[in-house]
Amino acid sequence: MSEQILIIGAGSGIGQGLVQHYLQQGDQVQAISRGACPPALATTALNWLQLTEADVASKEDAQESAINSVVTEAVAARPDIVFICQGWLHDNQYGPEKTLRQLTAAQMQKSFAINVVQPALYLKALFGYLTRQQQVKVLVLSAKVGSITDNQLGGWYSYRASKAAINMLVKTSSIELGRYNKTATLVSLHPGTTDTALSAPFQANIPTGQLQSTAATAKRLAMVAANLTSEHSGQLLNWDGTVLPF
């Protein structure tokens, strides 16, 4: 039996991989993205909802209103599984900080805006739906480098801090959600190292066999989603479904 899937951040490499995977499985997909739907993905089984750059860049109330509107349309399809796929590590101006001396307020603010604030606003917009929908599963993409316990190398200050923050947001939200809907599952998820623009500058240092295509990552993450139960709620999971330390 086909499922209803919602992919938020569907224009990212992993987001597109998930859209393709679920469409190939015969599922119905709602996709939210800042970009237009790639022509290769266009099908009646996909409803692509586009937020404009102006929506995302707008200040506070306007941004939240735009997110609320698009989420309201998406959840009308009653999704069984939701992925939130926002993530930012670097651009032409900023790279991961190798030392605390490289840290700037502007870079940290951008990292938190994309890696924490936007997913938080989506979770807030989804919350009413999640309290009512039985067996719903939400997977928020995070990163293993956000684990405080696992951090042995240091560096990457803004990215590590933002991912630690999203892990805490998911954990805290899962506790509240569980009070209303004991069948719901909300987790943060490390997708593994994937061949996307985010990892591109660092791929030369990745051990052979560790870098995954977006299709392979999507298949692995879909398997994690399929095996989730409410007992997993609040956890930080690895791409293979094992539990990572906070």
Please write down the HEC assignment for all residues of 16-67.
HHHHHHHHHCCCEEEEEECCCCCHHHCCCCEEEEECCHHHHHCCHHHHHHHH
pLDDT at 47 over 80: yes
pLDDT band at 166 (very low <50, low <70, confident <90, very high): very high
pLDDT band at 195 (very low <50, low <70, confident <90, very high): confident
pLDDT band at 198 (very low <50, low <70, confident <90, very high): low
Domain residue ranges in the chain? 4-244
| Average pLDDT of the residues of the chain | 93
pLDDT band at 57 (very low <50, low <70, confident <90, very high): low
Q: Tell me which long-range contacts 76-79 makes (C-beta under 8 A, separation of at least 24).
A: 77/4, 77/6, 77/28, 77/30, 77/47, 78/4, 78/133, 79/4, 79/5, 79/6, 79/30, 79/133, 79/136
Q: What is the mean pLDDT of residues 136-153?
A: 96
The class (CATH top level) of 4-244 is alpha beta
